[in-house]
Amino acid sequence: MTGGEDGNINAISTPHTPAEAWKTLMDGNRRFVGSSSSHPNQDAARRTSLMSTQHPFVMIFGCSDSRLAAEIIFDLGLGDAFVVRTAGHVIDNTALGSLEYGVEYLGVPLIVVLGHDSCGAVTATKAAVETGSMPAGFIRDLVERITPSVLTSLRKDKDSGIGEMVEEHVKQTAARLVENSPIIAGAVARQKTAVVGLTYRLNDGSADLVYSNGHIGL
């Protein structure tokens, strides 16, 4: 729950199934796009209720880009989302372990891989593929992990732009979560969890579905 400036109390109940979680998530994005965000679950009572426990209904594995603030673009509050972010939503053992924790210990019914247009990490990877020059430091590791998605996009269409590469990378990341994690794969098979991939549009704030694995009610 949260109190708005007009004194109204806004709240979203905790979904328990992938389909319920999906509907709640996208309802929040529609409110954000329509400039009618309700800012739920942000008041003192909500903080108190979360002191000893948490029951997030969605895990968002997104890019670290500052324009991609997950709780804001889906109009969520405290305790609603378990968020893991890396540049270019690149999977490593720590990120995968964090997502497994959400499935195994928190019972989160929905995992979202969230990419966006004009992604800097994908743009850097595209430049590296085109020039053959790799960036310095650990940025190189990011680029190497994104390169298969960029190459796949170019094989499909040699004129692929950043938007198409981002979409391909979201699809590949989401698929790898299931392929690489028996914990996540098992939860999806039991219909306890679903995995979806979304691409976020910076200009209008909307999130579009590009990948799904599991029952989300579509």
CA-to-CA distance for 120 and 130, rounded, in angstroms? 15
DSSP 93-153: HHHHHHHHHHHHTT--SEEEEEEETT-HHHHHHHHHHHH--PPSTTHHHHHHHHHHHHHHH
Q: What is the pLDDT along the chain (218 residues), one digit of tens a residue?
A: 333 333 334 666 788 999 999 999 999 999 999 999 989 888 898 888 888 888 999 999 999 999 999 999 999 999 899 999 999 999 999 999 999 999 999 999 999 999 999 999 999 999 999 999 999 999 999 999 999 999 999 999 999 999 999 999 999 999 999 999 999 999 999 999 999 999 999 999 999 999 999 999 87
The answer to whether domain 15-48+63-213 has CATH 3.40.50.620 is no
Using CB atoms within 10 A of its CB, is residue 52 exposed (0-12), middle (13-18) or buried (19+)? Answer: exposed
Secondary structure of the chain: what % helix, strand, coil (to 5)? Answer: 45, 15, 40
Amino acid in position 136: A
- The angle that helices 162-180 and 139-156 make with each other, rounded to 10 degrees, is 110
What residue spans define the domains of the chain? 15-48+63-213
